């Protein structure tokens, strides 16, 4: 890394991609945000989002493409745990001086615990738990929507759509939350079915703020949704505890709002993160943190 003058951290998930450019001492120069960088949705799509975010951040910092070869880029990306996807992404050409790729959960865990051992549970659009202990990664979940990611916004949204359709059939009560979803689709069930054929995790996850808002008003369906999400997060937390975790940082848009819905013993296990996935990605940029070897 002799020619490296800038450290770049990238946190990419199913909803957005954030890039932070720092000088070699770790002082932040700029940040930018673009679209999805989940590599399971396509390596080229993810790389395009990453390049766009870095280029936008570079412009804000008064840098241009000639500086890219002096950048070491730490990539904390959703989907990186899939070996084939990891290799497909890393085979792509790029203009940077160095890149290292690991999961978004790994980057978040590094950031949360200041580069030391610890455990986190991410629940945003998706979900994943990770424990870093004695040089080993212990991962639970995180196998992507729809087969995994319980406790995340996408699964929550999928369950909501299922319940809304049941309410249309008169099988379950149609609450204000259900009616708001039907209004979103202009009360057209065929439109919901067509939408579902191409809907991405972030499309399902967009309904999570409404679930929280309606739950605060006592909406029966919304409360049921959050109780199920809380149970899912408790499941992941217990799995991490069984693997040796003491305290766990909850990170992500869902995890950060679910605290009050968790049982008291697990509320007591929650720790405050020291930093976020961007901090972890910057730490990754300082050295090789590749999940697999090229």
- What's the chain's average pLDDT? 95
Whether the per-residue pLDDT at 15 is higher than 80: the answer is no
Q: Indicate the DSSP class of residue 4.
A: -
Within a 10 A sphere around the Cβ of 169, how many other Cβ atoms? 8
Does 266 lie in the same domain as 159? yes
Does 281 lie in the same domain as 206? no
Does 93 lie in the same domain as 188? no
Residue 144 lies in a domain: no
Query: What element of type H or E holds 204?
Result: helix 201-205
Closest listed residue to residue 210, CA positions, set 233, 191, 174, 184: 184
Does 110 lie in the same domain as 15? yes
The CA-CA-CA angle for residues 83, 50, 84, to 5°, reads 10
How far apart are the C-alpha atoms of 162 and 157, rounded to whole Å? 9
How many domains, in total, are found in the chain? 2
Does 158 lie in the same domain as 256? yes
Does 226 lie in the same domain as 174? yes
Query: What element of type H or E holds 123?
Result: strand 118-123
Does 167 lie in the same domain as 99? no
Domain residue limits at 234: 153-271
pLDDT at 1: 63
Residue 293 lies in a domain: no
Whether the per-residue pLDDT at 38 is higher than 70: the answer is yes
Does 231 lie in the same domain as 279? no
Does 164 lie in the same domain as 96? no
Does 238 lie in the same domain as 175? yes
Residue 205 lies in a domain: yes
Residue 217 lies in a domain: yes
Q: What is the pLDDT of residues 124-134, one digit of tens each?
A: 999 999 999 99
Q: What is the pLDDT of residues 103-114, one digit of tens each?
A: 988 999 999 999
Does 171 lie in the same domain as 102? no
Position 60 confidence tier, pLDDT thresholds 50, 70, 90:
very high
Mean predicted confidence (pLDDT) in 200-205: 94
Kindly report the CATH number assigned to the domain that includes residue 279: 3.30.420.40
Residue 291 lies in a domain: no
How far apart are the C-alpha atoms of 28 and 20, rounded to whole Å? 7
pLDDT at 64: 95
Q: What is the pLDDT of residues 61-99, one digit of tens each?
A: 999 999 999 999 999 998 898 899 999 999 999 999 999
Residue 128 lies in a domain: no
Does 163 lie in the same domain as 257? yes
Residue 221 lies in a domain: yes
Residue 52 lies in a domain: yes
Contact 13, 56 (CB under 8 A): no
Contact 253, 14 (CB under 8 A): no
């Amino acid at each position: 890394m002799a020619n490296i003058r800038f450290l770049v951290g990238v946190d990419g998930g199913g909803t957005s991609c954030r890039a932070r450019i720092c000088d070699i001492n770790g002082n932040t120069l700029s940040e930018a945000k673009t679209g999805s960088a989940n590599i399971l949705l396509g390596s080229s799509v993810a790389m395009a989002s990453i390049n766009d975010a870095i280029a936008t951040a570079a412009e804000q910092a008064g840098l241009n493409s000639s500086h890219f070869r002096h950048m070491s880029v730490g990539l904390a990306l959703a989907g990186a745990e899939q070996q084939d996807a990891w290799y497909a992404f890393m085979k792509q050409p790029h203009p940077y001086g160095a890149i290292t790729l690991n999961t978004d959960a790994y980057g978040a865990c590094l950031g949360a615990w200041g580069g030391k051992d610890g455990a986190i549970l991410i629940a945003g659009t998706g979900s994943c738990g990770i424990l870093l202990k004695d040089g080993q990664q212990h991962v639970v979940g995180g196998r992507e929507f729809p087969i995994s990611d319980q406790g995340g916004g996408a699964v929550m949204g999928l369950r909501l759509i299922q319940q809304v359709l049941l309410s249309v059939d008169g099988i379950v009560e149609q609450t204000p939350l259900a009616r708001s979803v039907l209004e979103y689709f202009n009360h057209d069930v065929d439109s919901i079915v067509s939408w579902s054929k191409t809907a991405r995790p972030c499309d399902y996850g967009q309904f999570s703020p409404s679930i929280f808002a309606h739950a605060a008003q006592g909406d029966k369906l919304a409360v049921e949704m959050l109780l199920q999400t809380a149970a899912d997060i408790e499941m992941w937390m217990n799995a991490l505890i069984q693997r040796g975790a003491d305290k766990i940082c909850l990170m992500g848009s869902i995890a950060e709002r679910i605290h009050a819905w968790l049982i008291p013993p697990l509320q007591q296990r929650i720790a405050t993160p020291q930093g976020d996935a961007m901090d972890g990605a910057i730490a990754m940029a300082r050295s090789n943190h590749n999940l697999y070897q090229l």
